[in-house]
Chains A and B, each alone.
Chain A
Amino acid sequence: MIEIKPVLEAREISKTYPGESPVYALKPTSLRFQPGEFTAVIGRSGSGKSTLLRILGTLDKSDTGELIIEGHGVSRLSEAELARFRRRRIGFVHQDYNLFPEYTAWENVIFPIRLDGATEDRAKTEALLDRLGILRCRDRFPHELSGGEQQRVSLARALVTEPAVVLADEPTGNLDAENSSRVAELLRFACDEYRQTIVMVTHDAAMADYADRLLRIRDGVVTE
């Protein structure tokens, strides 16, 4: 039997926020995410979902354990290497879309490519936008877009570099049901079409139905 190497592996990662009464945001946890796997993380507010996502996204360092992405131990990477790695191999989608208001939709999408000093493949990017249904809004600024459109632009930005992992933090939190299901479908599509690993934090049970795997998190403890 051939063992498929996980794209993302967390070994005994944990996070504590110090203070008079320390907060154990994430208790020691080990997780493996396979390529093309769509994982939903469900938990109440303050349960440690976002902390987990930030650690998986290399934005925060875990207090213990190690994070391995595509076979690379993240803790051994320098800040610059980590940034480069994040730029190329991880995509983020946010609840608040987090688009740059001073950039057009097109520029927001190609931002990570240009940030890397590369030039975008125009046809490929247009195809992506077309697939996400936002090609016609490419020259609009974010404030000229609807919430659903903004979120799709955000999703396009996360997918444009063809990252190994896409981390989505409640991507449908600000959307209506129609737009929510459309975004979820698109994530599912990315997962199936491009074999991308999707980790989506949500507290919407309906959204979790799109996932292959469901993780529950409660008081910093992750269970399957």
Chain B
Amino acid sequence: MKDRGWSLFRKGLKRRRKEVLRLRFMMGFAVLLTAFVLLFQDNINAYVMENNYRLYGRWLFRTEGGARVESPYLDWERVRVGGYLQKLYDPTPELDPGEEDGEAEPAEGENREPEDRIEVPENENHRQTSVRIGSMGEAFAVENKLGLYEGRLPRTPNEIAMELGALQQLGLSYELGQELSFYLAEPVAEPAPTPEKSADGEKPETILVLNRVSFTLCGTLERYTARWDEGDSLPGALITGEAFDSLTMDKRAFDFGMLKPEYADHSVWSFASELIDAVRASAQGAEGSLVANEAAYYNPFWGDPTLYRNMIAVLLLLCVSLVTYLTAAYLTKRKRFFLRLREIGASTAEVWKMAAYECALAVLPAVFAGIVRAYALSLGAVFAMTRLSGFPWFYVFLWQTLLRILLCVLVTFGVSLLAALLIFSGRGISEKRRGLSKRAAAALRRRASKQSLRLGYRESLKRERMRHPLTTVLRRLTAVLVCAVLVYSFDVISGAAKAYHANLTPFSGMRTTTLRLRCRVPTGAKKTEQFDLEETAPFLRNTIPEAFFAELAEKPGVASFTRILSDRFRAVAWEGKEENEAYRQYLEALAEEKVGPYNRENKALPAFLDKIDQSVFLISVRENAEAAWKSFGLKREGPEYDAYLRGEAVVLGSTGDFRERAGLQPGDTLYLSGVNGELPVTVAALTEHNTQGATLFGSAAFGARLQALDGAEGQWNTFVTTFDTRSDKENTAKALAELCTRYGLDYMSNAETLKDIEENYLRVGVTYGFFSLSLLILFLFMAAAVSAERELRLRGKRELLRKLGAEETAFAREKRREAVREALYGLAALPLALAARYWLIWRDLGQAGGAACYSRLLGRNLNYGEAFFEMEQTDSREFFAFINTLETRSWLWLLIPLILAVLLTALAYGKTGKGDDND
């Protein structure tokens, strides 16, 4: 095999070791960064998606009532659901419909023969569970990862698979193969009221007919119904379709739309709006039952797959640019060497081949080394991520990603080499010296026609840019793009920080409070079925013992706690309450909705009004009343404040609508009814408070007066605690839960939500932070490479200018000026980033999950209906998005990374390379 001088090339490379090492370092680093980010992000993405599927299913849309709309992107599956599992006979025997309390334990050894058909009053407290029975295709169950604990899904009509939680809910010990028997209710029509019962206005009693069914337990499932969106309406007990058909009960059907595998990378939301509209149009009433499963494709790291792909595209683009510049810079340095090759008789093709060979020798080892190192680094990063986030260890070996990176880098290298060689040939490697393009010549001629131009280095640089407009534009566009991504990333991180500090949950955008533990009333306070209200009174009688607070104060991880006396549904009267027209209209509207016409014939009305009157006032007494007063924006002076501290006045918190209806003003007297009579208090001030009805905020003295009114003892029944930020919140929450349980206190913990928020902040910070940092480093590398390459290219020009009498200082000055000018183009990223932000907000608002976006932007908990209402209140979705895009504080924050990036870019462009010339 002919050597053709290749060995000389290798020798040459060894002798130019320093230069080659520098090139390899830069190239290797670029590949390392790009490959690492791709491998790491693909890994995290794969893990998150897998986790999403496992937890939330693969389905995207769910409709009810046959509102299935054909879409090229979706496969539809039907899931049928029947009634609740009503009761279980075997082995528990307490099935007697006459028994009042279904919670009673069965007598030892009692074993009655169950009846196949029984009748029970609907209102009876029997042992109804929230588990529904239903049927779904096995493929659907498998695709949506309905995890089996053990056994399998039903295949014969007598088999059943149940959620483990459902079995536990039914109080069963279970084993596979066991026969389970329970009742299902037959469909009931609304009974006509019987004369004797309708006389007092009460709702007639409905009798349920329960049929006994038996199945053999063939598998136990993870509790997917608790995880899926509105999963409580889905079957927690699965039987075959055949068995389902044979059952007599209320039946419903849900259609689930799943993204076809070939569209797995498709942006879900690109067709969501059209689909939602089509579903609404297809069936009457379908609108309310449409459920979008945002969780299936939710990526806590990137938001959605489109964004992820765009970010990766930007990264690859930058990598391509960098590889091109590095190759071009290297070849420019070697220009004279290759020119000499031409002089000694090498053809242009041979010179190109040799140049390509030399570049490959210089670059490819760095590329392979970069990929291998990236792989090792991504392993380490995934490991660190799992440790930080509490995930189980995973690593998905992504052959495809690895090959894609390799292919991408090689193709990039090949293309950039070709491009560089073409550029190179234009600068004198080939015999034919390429002149100016027609367009460039025309532009330069126009420029030349301008009189009195100050010719010099600056003008020369300007014309240099005019000669290579495409390179200039691409370079500036890259700067804008990189800065835009930086600004956007910073925007996302600051948004996560904002959400973290405001305790907004990452997924729904709902605000959650700090860990809250509340003493609940352990009474037989009976749930009134008609109005769903709790009776008043005993809240204040059940307070938390001081010993509890003493122990609480000792718990590690608890930073502070505020004690609260919380009261509910207090009957309150005031002057002119009944005469107030607006208030009466409000009651009428409520009554119409709940119990029918607002007239004397409606016997249920007085009882309803009595209860509803009481329900509109909540009471909250804070331990630190002074701070509470200040938090309402009120001045801590004056007679109102003194009365508030003495417990003789309260702050009335309500919505403006309520105040208008009730006609209440500061100075009005409220009469609070209690066990021992009435307690008059003055309204010291009004404040905006988003609550149903109104809330009275008072001091500890007011709490004491209120308790005296009810004859209650003790002082506090609720408290809110904050955790030490450095503590292990999870363990602190567990310790507090244990403490509450020991004192018999009911508690509500937001610890897990808070943990989610914290983790989301960390994830977003790490993901976007690292990505933008990688991008910035790559870009700065590119800027430095561009600068070095230009330095070399302009060297001859500078020498000539020197000969013509240009000052040395002018070169340095112009270099700095040019660096600043090039960097300043990055500022154009701000409107671009804001436009992207606007578009994302606008898009999110229009999606099925727009409520989360509204909640996040408004800092309030909004469900879909409320969000829809809010949207209607604003002039338009566009205007709302626009206003929120231009939020002033965000603007200022966004300038920080942008200015930093511009400064660094200016430094990189302004860097004066040594411009090694080997010849």
Interface residues contributed by chain A, number (CB under 8 Å): 33
Q: Which residues 96-111 of A have a CB within 8 angstroms of B? A: 98, 100-104, 106-107, 110-111
Per a CB cutoff under 8 Å, which of A98, A102, A141 touches B466? A102
Q: How far is the CA of A157 from the CA of B804 in the complex (A)?
A: 9
A88 to B808, CA, bound (A): 16
B809 A115 Cβ-Cβ under 8 A? no
A80 touches B802 (CB 8 A): no
In contact, A79 and B448 (Cβ under 8 angstroms): no
Q: Given A114-B456, A115-B455, are A104 and B804 also a contact pair (CB < 8 Å)?
A: no
Query: Which residues of chain A (78-102) have a CB below 8 Å from chain B?
Result: 79-80, 83-88, 90, 92, 98, 100-102
CB distance A139 to B445 under 8 Å?
yes
Q: Do B805 and A83 touch across chains, with their CB atoms under 8 A apart? A: yes
Say yes or no: is A18 at the interface (Cβ < 8 Å to chain B).
no
Quick one: given A114-B456, A143-B433, are A103 and B463 in contact (CB under 8 Å)? yes
Contacting pair A114 B436 (CB below 8 A): no
A29 CA / B456 CA spacing, docked (Å): 35
Residue B797 is within 8 A (CB to CB) of chain A in the complex: yes
Is B889 close to A, CB under 8 A? no
How many interface contacts (CB-CB < 8 Å) are there between A and B? 84
B797 neighbours in A (Cβ, 8 Å): 100
Beyond A100-B797, A115-B456, whether A80 also contacts B809 by CB under 8 A is: yes
Min Cβ gap B40→A in Å is 45
Q: For the complex, give the distance between the alpha carbons of A107 and B803 in Å.
A: 16
Asked whether B803 lies within 8 Å of A143 as measured between CB atoms, the reply is no
Known: A57-B803, A80-B809, A102-B460. A141 touches B444 (CB 8 A): yes
| A37-54 to B contact mask, C-beta < 8 Å, 1/0 | 000000000000000000
Q: Determine whether B807 belongs to the interface, using a CB cutoff of 8 Å to chain A.
A: yes
B635 within 8 A of A: no
A119: contacting residue among B452, B467, B801, CB under 8 A: B452
Chain A, residues 160-198, CB within 8 Å of chain B (1/0): the string is 000000000000000000000000000000000000000
Q: Which residues of A contact B452 (CB under 8 A)?
A: 119
| Tally of contact residues, B, Cβ under 8 A | 29
Given contacts A101-B467, A102-B467, contact A59 B803 (CB under 8 A): yes
Q: Which residues of A contact B802 (CB under 8 A)?
A: 59, 83, 86
**Is the pair A98, B454 in contact by a Cβ cutoff of 8 Å?**
no
Most interface-central of A85, A104, A117, A144 (chain B CB within 10 A): A104
- List 17 interface pairs A-B (beta carbons < 8 Å), by A numbering: A59-B803, A79-B808, A83-B802, A90-B805, A92-B803, A100-B460, A100-B800, A102-B444, A102-B466, A103-B444, A104-B445, A107-B455, A112-B805, A114-B455, A115-B454, A139-B448, A143-B433
Q: Given that A102-B436, A103-B463 are known contacts, is A83 also in contact with B455, CB under 8 Å in the complex?
A: no
B632 to chain A, nearest CB (A): 70
Decide yes or no whether A130 CB sits under 8 A from chain B: no
Question: Interface digits, B786-826 against A, CB 8 Å rule (1 contact, 0 not)?
Answer: 00000000001100111111111100000000000000000
A115 and B436 contacting across the interface, CB-CB below 8 Å: no
Contacts of A209 in B (CB 8 A): none
User: B residues near A, CB below 8 A?
Assistant: 433, 435-436, 441, 444-445, 448, 452-456, 460, 463-464, 466-467, 796-797, 800-809
B455 to chain A, nearest CB (A): 4
Pick from A85, A101, A110, A139 the residue with the most CB of B within 10 Å. A101
Secondary structure dominating the interface of B: helix
Is residue A116 within 8 Å, beta carbon to beta carbon, of the partner chain?
A: yes
B362, chain A: closest CB distance, angstroms: 27
Tell me which residues from 43 to 77 in chain A have a Cβ below 8 Å from any Cβ of chain B.
Answer: 57, 59
Contact A110 B803 (CB under 8 A): no
Distance in angstroms from A2 CB to nearest chain B CB is: 32
In the bound complex, residues from chain B placing their C-beta under 8 Å from that of A112 are 804-805
Provide the residues of chain A in CB contact with B453, threshold 8 Å. 114
Chain A positions within 8 Å of B804 at CB level: 86-87, 92, 111-112, 115, 157
**Residues on the A chain within 8 Å of B456, using CB:** 114-115
Closest to B807 in A: A83
Partner of A143, one of B435, B454, B800, B801: B435
In the complex, what residues of A have CB within 8 A of residue B796's CB?
98
Q: Is the CB of A98 within 8 A of B800?
A: yes
Given A114-B454, A114-B455, A115-B456: A106 in contact with B807 (beta carbons within 8 A):
no
User: In the bound complex, how far is the Cα of B445 from the Cα of A198, in angstroms?
Assistant: 33
Bound state CA distance, A100 and B806, in angstroms? 14
Minimum CB–CB distance from B843 to chain A (whole Å) comes to 46
Whether the pair A84, B467 counts as a contact (CB closer than 8 A) is: no
Closest to B463 in A: A102
